[in-house]
Structure 1
Amino acid sequence: MNDLAVLSFDCTELRRRLSELHEQQPPADPATPSIRIGIEDAEGALVHVVEASRLVEAVKVFEVLGDYGLEPRNGRHRTQDGRRLTRLYSAARPA
């Protein structure tokens, strides 16, 4: 798991909430592709990827990230190893 300490919010609390969401989900079907949700730091570096196996779980992750002031980024994004991200979130940028 990547370090979320570089972000400007309570990373420990965010990590706890994301872990709780993951633990509440039933086992994933290995044949189902993952929904990958990335979190980037203020410099635009990918620092964490959440993998959800169900749409309901992904929506809950989106809600938690929104609670922390993170916003979805436009465009297509990939992990360092080339896997496609469904959505990428980062701290709100000044307009």
Structure 2
Amino acid sequence: MKEFVVYTVLRLLLFGATLGVVLGVWLLVVGDADVVIAVIIAFVLSGIGSYVLLNGPRERFAQRVDERARRAAARFEEMRAKEDDDLDA
């Protein structure tokens, strides 16, 4: 769960920073910013940035999910094997 929270917070911070930069540059250059288009641009840029910058937290999150899935699958197989043994007896 910790890995999920860390990755999500980092994504939100990256988006917020990107939105601030996009709006700031837009206001400096044009003087009037269209917020909807700025949000779309920030969303795309932060997505690309997170792919590069947040690789480590994303990998840790993926490893944690994989670990939990493997444990759940092992428990399921144990229960299934026990059920098969009970039926054979």
Same fold (TM over 0.5): no
Q: Which has the higher contact order (CA 8 A, sep 6+)?
A: 2
More strand by share: 1
Relative to the length of structure 2, the TM-score reads 0.33
More helix by share: 2
